[in-house]
Amino acid sequence: MKTDEMVLLLGDRVALKVPSFMVPSSMSHKGDYLISVSEMVNWLGGVARDLGVEIYTGFAARELVVEDGAVRGIKLGEKGLNREGGRQPNYVPGEVLEARVTVLGEGSAGLLSEALVRRFSLGADRNAQVYSLGVKEIIRLSDQNSFGANRVIRMVGFPSRPDIFGGGAIYSMGADSVSIVLVMGLDWRYCDLDPQRELQIFKSHSFIRKLIAGGEVVAYGAKTIPEGGFYSVPELTAPGAIHREDQPSHVTFSEEGKDSGCSQEFGCHPCAAFCPAEVYKFKGDELILSPSNCLHCQTCRLKCPHQVIQWRVPEGGDGPSYRLM
């Protein structure tokens, strides 16, 4: 990054650049590298294979195998179950993979990592983890656009209300594309807040609208981000296991949920609003699930006010196929 600017957005028209001397050095990314996580994972996978690491995709880790007080491996999920849980002709059982050391690299809010933390009390005396949600679009710019490469603009203010933690950013993805992202702390208290809608409102600010004029959205995604900081990091090792935070996940997720009287309590269905992928829709009070829409950001599991949305790892191979994110 050669250019790093911070801008304060006031209302939907005013944009004030924050002088660089007022931006803490820890928040400046000038001179840093910006890497697509998807592309880095692909590259890293090639490096690992060259070093003799075996990588198998399409297998979902379902649960930890714990024996004699130590992690002995993981159990894979079954494949070939129908919607009711019955076995189809292509059913294969979940196998147990045993290892001397199990390294969990699930990314944000990993299910096995959380199970490990609970099982071995790794989070005792630590703060509870809190999360924000980032929704992002990649926009291919028009030929006339002069945003340029190696540039990032970070923004605070519009459209988030003052009581919502977060901010936005737009940064170069090469010379002809930009990423635009809006991050919001998941502790917002508005039952009908829709992150995707907020992102569109964010893009409608006159300052941003000019930056992306004539552009075309080529990809979008969503992801939760651990925000608890150092004091929320649990112990990173347990007998037989090492837990590495913030690793790109090779495990895919899906979710299913049900309404728990939210409409009576809140006057709306929060999951229909906070899910950035429209997995949860309602026809009156009838829930219509579209799991295939899922971006596997896990917002629903974390944000559901009644915590009734149950998560389980789907069959391996499912999930969003990010190539540019």
Partner 1 sequence: MQSVDGDTAQVPPQIAEELGITHIAYATSFDFPEGQLQIRRITSRGAEIVAPQSYPCVITVAKWTEPPNALFSRTRWAYGQILFQWSAADIGADDARLGLPGSRTMVNRIFSPKELSRRTCVFEKDMTRLVGLLAEAYARKSKTAQEVRTEQPYQVLGGKKPHYAGEVWVYIEHNQGEVSAVSPALPFRPEFWMSCCRIGGNRKPPSWQSYWAAR
- Interface residues with partner 1 (CB under 8 A)? 54, 56, 59, 76, 79-80, 88-92, 95, 97, 315
Task: Report how far residue 163's alpha carbon sits from residue 78's, in angstroms, rounded to the nearest whole number.
Answer: 43
Contact 55, 44 (CB under 8 A): no
Q: Rank residues 9 and 74 by Cβ distance to partner 1 and give the closer one.
A: 74
AA identity, residue 141:
L
Q: Rank residues 59 and 274 by Cβ distance to partner 1 and give the closer one.
A: 59
Q: Rank residues 71 and 271 by Cβ distance to partner 1 and give the closer one.
A: 71
Q: Rank residues 60 and 109 by Cβ distance to partner 1 and give the closer one.
A: 60
Q: How far apart are the first and last CA of the chain?
A: 17
Task: Report how far residue 162's alpha carbon sits from residue 152's, in angstroms, rounded to the nearest whole number.
Answer: 23
Minimum separation from the CB atom of position 50 to partner 1 (A): 15
Minimum separation from the CB atom of position 279 to partner 1 (A): 21
Task: Report how far residue 212's alpha carbon sits from residue 139's, in angstroms, rounded to the nearest whole number.
Answer: 8
Minimum separation from the CB atom of position 187 to partner 1 (A): 39
Minimum separation from the CB atom of position 93 to partner 1 (A): 8
Minimum separation from the CB atom of position 112 to partner 1 (A): 16
Contact 275, 300 (CB under 8 A): yes
Residue 270 has φ and ψ, to the nearest 5°, of -55, -40
Q: Rank residues 26 and 88 by Cβ distance to partner 1 and give the closer one.
A: 88
Task: Report how far residue 50's alpha carbon sits from residue 126's, in angstroms, rounded to the nearest whole number.
Answer: 38
Minimum separation from the CB atom of position 91 to partner 1 (A): 7
Q: How many residues does the chain have?
A: 325
Closest CA to 150 of 110, 120, 177: 177
Q: Rank residues 79 and 223 by Cβ distance to partner 1 and give the closer one.
A: 79
Both tokens of 132, joined, read 């924000």
